[in-house]
Structure 1
Amino acid sequence: MSEGKTGAPHEGPFLLSQLVEWIDREHRNEPGRIIGNLLDALRRSPYYGPLVAAAEKTHRSPTERLRALPLLDRDTFYRHSPPLSNDILTGPMADAYVYASGGTTGQPKFALYSNEEYKIATDVLGFIYSTAGLEAEDVVGNIFLAGNLWTSFNVAGRALENIGCLNMPIGGATSYDMMIKFLQAFNANALVGLPSVIIKLAEEVERSGSNVRIRKILYGGEHLRAPTVEFLRRTLGCELVRSAGYACVDTGPIGYQCTHLGGSLHHVLEGYQFVEIVNPETGAVRNDGEPGEIVSTNLTRLLMPVVRYKTGDLGRWVEMDECACGFSGKTFELLGRCDDLLVIGGINLLPSDVASGLALLPVSQNFQVVARTKNSRDLLVLRLEASRPLSDAQVLEGLEHGSYKLAKAIKDGWLNVEIEWLAPGGLPRSVRTGKIKTVLDERHG
């Protein structure tokens, strides 16, 4: 995007610096107008229309009316969406993109973006990539997965185009030896992709002794834990490993990382998203820093509105003065999937507790945790990939060193752990997305 125009980002080419100004201006000066525009569109939807009419009877301001609308769970969203129903739509299915959604299991569901909304979303993603540290001088390998109505490869490609870098559309289904050859041919110094694909590439680089060195990695679609980041730094020589933005197909981009944020901290894309964190059980809004489910309203999706959508992700608000980047809005920490939190052996176990221990061992950083019941006690089955399996004792020692609460549960006899070994690449991956479901709870049927 080499020249700018006035108006909103979708009105012709739009500089990233102007996009930042547009988001800030829209949020700071006219938040009520943006929400009001959304509510006007909702009235045209057979699903949302009656809900908005009811909210208008008891609430005056646009923000109050938005908050009065019910939380939207995935089943309800898809039940009222194409191809089952058009009730959630505000207009005809034309001049638009359709993408597959609905997670990694079951039949795919679908999300529609008008062409205008798609351009805004990819402009926002370009801003996220640029803010995270990608520059026009970079040579970037796009190893997100393509095809099957997936969004990531397409939107990443257009976001990179906005930055002006050398864009290599390699694709995550390409063999790892060919990935390495492509990256070497053009001296690529950056990657965008799915963590499980990036990890496998790093393992192949290490195994083959390749001289591929990647300074910058932006990841999306899965969580990347601190121990795995250290593995990527060691094997690929990474200097920058950062989120490519927190997003999902249904909502679009929700949060981003500036160069001053690390780990799983994200600034809210204020002016583009209205974000809440709620108690997963009661739906009550949380503003106290306690973990809860992230709820998103995309303020620009007008064809297929997504309002107060329960993302299924855990997060918590983080108190922060004005960030060094100049951002003074809300910042949250992404904690994982709601169904990734296992209450087992008397402890609350997150994948990061396991990852901390595995980082100490010469095994793949891809893993799967399965909760079962055996002899009336909780059993944790840990599935690992390795060409040369370690002894169970070595793995248990690593786990106990990596997590105090896991060590205590094992030592006190509240939790038994069994190890299952698979060959590299042997963990089950979703046929549709290539993702690994990190946590399975088989204790309830």
Structure 2
Amino acid sequence: MEFHNEESQFKKALLVYRESHKSALYSKKYSGFAAPASVSDWEKIPVLTRSEIHERSFPSSMDMMTCPLEDAIVISTGGSSGVARYTAYTHSEWDAFVTAQARALEILGITRKDRVANLFIAGHFWPSFLGLHDSIKKIGAVHLPISANIPPEEIVKLCQQFEPTVMISLPTLFVFLADMANRDGFKFKNLRMINYAGEHLSAVAEQHVSKALGVTRIKAGAYTSSDAGIMGYQCDHTPSGVYHVPTHFQWIELIDFDRGCRVKQGEKGDVVVTNLNRTSNPIIRYRVGDVAKWQEGTCPCGDRNPLLKLAGRAGADFKLGGGFISMDVFENAIARHAPALSLNFQLEISDIGGQFEVDLKIEAPRLPEPLMITTLRNELFQAVPELRISEEKNYLRQFTITPLEIGKLPRSPITGKVSHLKDNRVL
């Protein structure tokens, strides 16, 4: 994609900044701030928060709009947590979004000769199904609008009947299909590529999906936020979690909010994004909620756009016994027992009378042997000393591992995602 240096991005961002003053939110938010004259001035502009988008967007409010709500599409920008937020794009802004998304898919090798199975959930204002439809249309490929609204057995049947060469959906669904394939022994005849979006697909989950479904090419369709649009795209050389930034479309900063400054090369920071194309509902210095770092060097593909490596969700880990525990520890432990155990799991933590209980719910194609559950428990207590110490000190009232039939974990009705952490404690 077209490369823009930071000076060029600043000039485009300044136009969006000036236009934003037509909205009630930004005119008040930026009251008393002089228009930034340099990149360093830009860093002094206060960030946009999720709560502001939730509370000040249509239909709750028109405060973020710089123009009347006309010639537009309204989409949901949240929902996995059960709290939906909404935002509006003009049709021209939406077209620019899906054009960039289509180009990202073309870079990965999707052509008009492909049959693309659209396996996103449709409805509830969720934009993924609609956006992929428009992107496939721009490429000229054959669109198979199957969706994930139907039972998974029907998804398998339709994919076997219509033989897609590419499937696109959430990692949660692909892990589920891999579990089903291990249980039922099916493959998809002409499937050559899987694209995912909406969640991170870990290396262990990718191996599980690749082996079960017999697909060697698995790539992220894009790094995207419904609020901001496409923020990253992959090429043949980018590994899992690494993306080129579309500098013509987004300006991304990585900020250390503890120090109040940008991070240096190789350091982790919170992703802060400004959409350079959107003026009807401006997204300026939005704190997305992801943590990332800049990759050094130039990509072998020759694309000059910088490389961004995602390092997780801000606040995705949880606190236990004074320390912060990474959810990766649990996924890696479970992965050692795949395919007997699925990588669709949920860790639920509850506070019971001053003690806490932990229930690790894991989907499984078949009921696992008790010895496997005992082994996994021992491995987790070895990998997470806080669990063992909490049990010894009687802080941990109970730790259980509950196997569930595949598909039985609660999914978001809007996005279809499984939340890996459900922390019921009041901290």
* TM-score, structure 1 normalization: 0.86
Paired amino acid for 1:291: K
Q: 1:272 aligns with which of 234, 249, 273?
A: 249
Matches of residues 296-335 of structure 1 in structure 2 within 5 Å?
Answer: 296-313=273-290, 315-335=291-311
- Deviation, 1:435, is 1.4
User: Hey, what's the Cα distance between the residues in 2 that align with 1:30 and 1:281?
Assistant: 28
- Deviation of the 1:405 alpha carbon: 7.3
Are 2:174 and 1:204 equivalent residues in the alignment?
no
Contact 2:120 2:129 in 1 (8 A): yes
Q: 1:82 aligns with which of 43, 58, 73?
A: 58
Residues 259, 396 of structure 1: alpha-carbon distance in 2 compared, 3 angstrom cutoff = farther
* Cα deviation 1:77-116 (Å, max 9, x = unaligned): 2222222221211100001100122332344221100101
Describe the shift of the 1:66–1:42 C-alpha distance in structure 2 as closer, same or farther (beyond 3 A).
farther
- The answer to whether the 8 A contact 1:99-1:150 is kept is yes
User: For residue 324 of structure 2, what is the aligned residue in structure 1?
Assistant: 348
More displaced 10-residue stretch of structure 1: 285-294 or 301-310: 285-294
Query: Using CA pairs below 8 Å that are at least 6 residues apart, which structure has the higher relative contact order?
Result: 2
Q: What whole-Å deviation, never above 9, does each CA across 1:274-310 have from its counterpart, x for those lacking one?
A: 1122235565432353333222111111100111111
Q: Distance in 1 between matches of 2:28 and 2:425?
A: 40
> Contact 2:341–2:364 at 8 Å: present in 1 too?
yes
Residues 94 and 64 of structure 1: CA distance in aligned 2, closer, same or farther (over 3 Å): farther
Q: Report the secondary structure of 1:323's partner residue.
A: coil
**Aligned with 1:420 (options 394, 402, 421):** 402
Opposite residue 325 of structure 2, the aligned amino acid is L
Identity %: 26
**1:227-269 Cα distance to aligned partner (Å, 9 max, x none):** 1111111111111111111112111111111111112112222
Supply the distance in 1 between the matched residues of 2:424 and 2:390 (Cα, whole angstroms).
Answer: 20
Cα distance, 1:72 vs structure 2: 1.3
Which amino acid counterpart does residue 235 of structure 2 have in structure 1?
A: C
2:349 pairs, out of 371, 374, 393, with 371
Deviations 1:369-418 (A, max 9, x none): 123456866654211112533356524534766x8972544556679642
- Per-residue deviation, residues 406-437 of structure 1 (Å, max 9, x unmatched): 25445566796421232221111122222111
For the structure 1 residues 393 and 139, does the alpha-carbon distance in structure 2 shift closer, same or farther, using more than 3 Å as the test?
same
Equivalent pair of 1:357/1:400 in contact (CA under 8 Å): no
2: CA distance between counterparts of 1:105 and 1:56?
A: 37
- Offset of 1:40 from its aligned partner? 2.4
Deviates more, 1:160-169 or 1:326-335: 326-335
Matched, 1:37 2:19: no
Could you give the per-residue CA deviations for residues 27-54 of structure 1, whole angstroms, max 9, x where no partner exists?
A: 4783343122212211212221344463
- Using the TM superposition, give the Cα deviation of residue 215 of structure 1 relative to its aligned residue in structure 2, in angstroms: 2.2
Query: Structure 1 residues 45 and 265, CA, compared in 2 at 3 Å: closer, same or farther?
Result: same
Pick one of 146, 155, 161 that aligns with 1:179.
155
User: Kindly tell me: are residues 172 and 70 of structure 1, through their superposed partners in 2, closer, same or farther at Cα, counting changes over 3 Å?
Assistant: same
Q: Which amino acid aligns with 2:222?
A: G
The answer on whether the counterparts of 1:55 and 1:68 sit within 8 Å (CA) in structure 2 is no
Which runs of structure 2 are paired with 1:383-402 in the superposition (5 Å)? 383-391=361-369, 394-395=372-373, 397-398=375-376
Residue 442, structure 1, aligned to residue 424, structure 2: yes
Q: Which amino acid in 1 is paired with 2:414?
A: R
Deviation at 1:225, TM superposition (A): 1.2
State the partner residue of 1:168.
Answer: 144
1:102-181 pair list within 5 angstroms = 102-181=78-157
| 8 Å Cα contact 1:191/1:218 also seen in 2 | yes
Change (3 A) 1:440 1:237: same
SS at 2:207 equivalent: helix
State the Cα distance separating 1:322 from its structure 2 match. 0.8
How far apart are residue 120 of structure 1 and its match?
Answer: 0.4
Cα distance in 2 between the residues matched to 1:246 and 1:397: 36
- Secondary structure of the 1:159 match is helix
- For residue 131 of structure 1, what is the amino acid of its counterpart? I
**Contact 2:182 / 2:365 at 8 angstroms: preserved in 1?**
no
Paired amino acid for 2:288: T
| 142-151 or 81-90, larger mean C-alpha shift | 81-90
Match of 1:429 among 404, 411, 427: 411
Is the 8 Å Cα contact of residues 346 and 414 (structure 1) preserved in structure 2? no
Which one-letter code corresponds to 2:24 in the other structure? Answer: P
- Higher mean displacement: 333-342 or 94-103: 333-342
Deviation at 1:439?
1.1
- Structure 1 residues 247 and 297, CA, compared in 2 at 3 Å: closer, same or farther? same
Is contact 1:56-1:65 (8 Å) kept? no
Cα distance in 1 for partners of 2:66, 2:131 equals: 24
Q: What SS is found at the alignment partner of 1:55?
A: coil
Residue identity in the other structure for 1:158: D
Structure 1 Cα separation of the partners of residues 206 and 247 of structure 2: 28
5+ residue gaps in structure 1?
Answer: 1-19
Supply the distance in 1 between the matched residues of 2:216 and 2:178 (Cα, whole angstroms): 14
Cα distance in 1 between the residues matched to 2:134 and 2:187: 29
Matched, 1:294 2:255: no
- Structure 2 contact 269–293 (Cα < 8 Å) conserved: no
5+ residue gaps, structure 2, are none
Report what 1:16 is aligned to.
none
**2:209 is aligned with 1:232:** yes
The within-5 A match list for 1:57-72 is 59-61=36-38, 63-72=39-48
Contact 2:231-2:246 within 8 A present in 1 as well: yes
